[in-house]
Structure 1
Amino acid sequence: MKKKKTNYLNSKLLYKIVALFFAILLFAYVNSSHLSSTRQQNNDAGFMSNKAVTMTVPLKINIDSDKYFVSGYPEEVKVKITGPTAMVVATENVRNFEVYADLNGLSLGDHTVKLKTTGLNDELTVSVVPAHVNVKISKKKHVVLPIQVRFDANQIAKNYAAGTAYASQQTAEITGSKQDIKRIDSVVADIQLPSKTQKTYTRSVLLKAIDKNGHLLDVNIYPATVKVTVPVYEALASKKVNIDLIASGAGVAGKKYSFSSETKTVEVKGTKKALADLTTLKVPISIMGIVNNQVKTIQINPSINGITQVNPKVIEVKIVVTDSSDKEDKPATKKDKDKVAENN
């Protein structure tokens, strides 16, 4: 009886152990299924969630660029793209789309054009800022013009002088509307020198096309930049030279002008190269509106490269005004020649 009771107890314990084992397996299975389902939901949510990005992209102009020149539009615009996260991220990374203004078929003149996009998925929401641009369509013209280098000579240190500044190339190709091309006065490369410059200075400079009033013109310039060099030399050499008083400007009709000054020579300082061939310094005297004899105080401002100082800087000039004779002012007419022939 005792042995049967022991077997019974052992059998009951075994059943409990087996039941516990299956209960653990069932618990593990349920938790694993729940975790897998949660991960799948999270992945689906990540793919289906929306994202918005704003990008700056170039604006393309669709027109026959061989015939027409377009001005007034921005080179870049902002694009806001909203949609599924994965799609937006891919679009931002690849950027295989365009924002453009279609000008084909429009007449010459000013227009307001709506911007369009191409290459974007239909599931994406797109907004362009600005949505419209103002453009001006003109007949295209192309010219080649010389480059003028400009700098402030006052930035050169004392006892130093600048040589002839030069650019890496002498001309630039200008493309623009016929109206703007006609208005071009010069193509300039303005180089900013450091204060008290004592040595040759070189920098890359942006080219500008300006009108006679110095206003910038909306044209395309190639190349856009050039390398500019301003040679700077020590200028301690000095030399005495004669002055040559010359008329400047248009005088009064029928008047003749002569000049004289007690100052006959001046001392100039500069580079040895600038002084080598200098024997006379021309001093211009303005005669505009002068009808009577007078004495003027003239400031000498040498325009010769390499000349840094002139002493004296100011001289007194006497201007004598006389009437021109008819014979000097008027060429002989055919009638006059005939009279001379008759007298002979």
Structure 2
Amino acid sequence: MDRLLDNSWFVKVVALLLAFLLYSSVPEKAGNQLKEIYVPGDETTETIEDVPLNAYYDTKNLIVTGLPETVNVQVSGPKSHVQNAKTLKNFEVYVELSDAEVGKRNVKLKIRKLSDKLDAKLSPASVNITIQERITREFKVEAEYDSGKVLDGFGASPPQIKPERVKITGPRDVIESITYVKATLDLKEPISETTTRDANIRVLDKDLNKLDVIVEPEAVEVTIPVKSLTKKVPINIVEKGSLPKGLVLESIESDTKEAVITADENILANTDAVRAEIDLSKITKSTTVTVPVIISKGITAVSPELVKITVNVQKAEEEVSLSSIPVNVTGLSEGAEVTFETPKDGRTSLLVYGPAEQVNTLEPDDFRLFVELAGLEEGEHDVQIRVDGPDGVSWRMAQSTATVTITNTDV
């Protein structure tokens, strides 16, 4: 072996063979391009999914519907090229609509920038599209929210929206089908104060289907004004009937002087008091009774609902009858007249009893009898006769109700 290595011709032949082998392993040049040598059978097919589809058209004046956002591309060819295309996705799937006109049509999808060593099949290969005029219109936004999220005792005024109108862009037929533009406020927790939140816009047709349009802005600011719907008012004690004969009312008092009512703002503004009624005809001795707090129409809640009324009485020492006391009229509408059917001539009598030193000095003028006619219309009415009298005495009316006829003199 050493002899061969010492032979210069042997070394030259071996060097020539090595140079040839190295040359044959390098791709041959054709001009400035390299020609790759492929091993027979090194072909493959892969499907590249969710490749974005680009569309080229007049986006300022037209809208195209029916185009999928992505397509699948099946590529076949040398394995290295297929893998490169799948990894880099350095190609484009597109549809050219620059010269397209308004209407419906079927268009073929195209692919470019793909290696010429590869074959490609698109799925879908073509699509049915609709090209429509692009228009923009302004619409008023309607706010909505779950009113049940407003706590009891509080009320919400109509929502305030900022901005009140939004611009909506889309195909003409879609824009013309818009019926509702709503900003829905998502209230996670109950509210008891004015609340402001951002709300996304929903655009719906008459069947409440959501429409695919462009809304500017996409969200608006919605404010729900919330106010307390409660008010503290006094509890008035209303006496009904008269004490049994022989008893005099010394005092009457409630354990609770005020109540909290819940109602709409206009009802609260017109309500000055609530009442608790005590039927004196059922009182036979000093006692404490529990009675309900009576509220007027429109008041939704009152607290407390019950109160305790303490009635103190004593035995009467003397009684006297006062007759021909006039019954006054209050609350009669302007331009109306009233006629008493009963008591006759609008006069009645009282049986008054109490301590002798008080009862014996009383005169009819010490008592004021009246009927309240506010709110009554023309015609005949039965109304309660009310009495204002001095403290320390009790009385019984000869007649507790009056029948009156109201006539309108302006007609």
Provide the TM-score with structure 1 as the length reference: 0.49
Structure having the larger proportion of residues in strand: 2
Larger radius of gyration: 2
**Greater relative contact order (CA < 8 Å, ≥ 6 in sequence):** 1
Structure having the larger proportion of residues in helix: 1
Provide the TM-score with structure 2 as the length reference: 0.42
